[in-house]
Amino acid sequence: MRKKLVVGNWKMNGSRAMVVELLTDLKARAPWPSDVAICPPMAYLGQVQAELTGSSIAWGAQDVSAHNGQGAYTGEVSATMLTDLGATYAIVGHSERRTYHAENDQLVAAKAKAALAQGVVPIVCVGETRAEREAGHTDAVVQRQLAAAIRSMGARIGEVVVAYEPVWAIGTGLTATPEQAQAVHARLRQQLLAATPAAAQMRILYGGSVKADNASQLFAQPDIDGGLIGGAALKADDFDAICRA
């Protein structure tokens, strides 16, 4: 049975004081039935490492460069650097990166491959916009996005985490019903199984206005293996409830 994974994506939120306060609270509530990780803004990753080392909570980055090692890539942070900071995960292809930074499927796949090469587990995000869903294009969009990662990594795709995050449900208060989310997750798993038998044990997360009051229903679905949590990850009570769901 796949163990659930809950990842808190803080997005561009936080301060040094907030890191101490929130993580102190969460450490006091740990451990949970699920695996748990925190992805803070890059500026606080070192502080998060210091706060969480020795705890049951993992940490990761909200993005990673497609370029590894060191070099003339101003503003970029490589997977080698993330490894140096003890990061377990790196989110790649979040819808906000695709929208605001024009990241395409090929760049997302390259970032995932670069992370995995350094032992950082990429959380590969896929998802459709509201217009794409209403036009009946959900499957075509998410399968195209995932196919780029599969082509890039081949059989090693079985080592990544996938997150389905319908763009129309991120920060809007709208949430896919458990049945809607499960249907997409099931089709993604079938696509992954065609690439590697390891897909049976891969974790596919749901992201999109997950809250304490809907997490249990979402996580009860057979192909939903946890959540990529945004706003609720900034509140200890809400995040704790989701981790226990």
- What pLDDT digit, counting tens, does each position of 112-142 carry? 999 999 999 999 999 999 999 999 999 999 9
Tokens of 29: 């509530």
Identity of the residue numbered 169: A
The single residue of 51, 96, 165, 185 carrying the catalytic annotation is: 165
Can you tell me the distance from the alpha carbon of 128 to that of 88, in angstroms, rounded to the nearest whole number? 27
SS3 211: coil
The single residue of 94, 96, 103, 185 carrying the catalytic annotation is: 94
Q: Is 94 an active-site residue?
A: yes
What pLDDT, on the 0 to 100 scale, is given for residue 209?
86
Can you tell me the distance from the alpha carbon of 117 to that of 13, in angstroms, rounded to the nearest whole number? 29
Domain 5-243, CATH class in plain words: alpha beta
**Computed from CA positions of residues 218, 220, 222, 226, in that sequence, does the dihedral angle turn out positive or negative?**
positive
% of the chain beyond a pLDDT of 90:
93
State pLDDT tens for residues 48-103: 999 999 999 999 999 999 999 899 999 999 999 999 999 999 999 999 999 999 99
Q: Is 67 an active-site residue?
A: no
Q: Supply the DSSP symbol for 167.
A: G
- The binding site for substrate comprises 9-11, 171, 209, 230-231
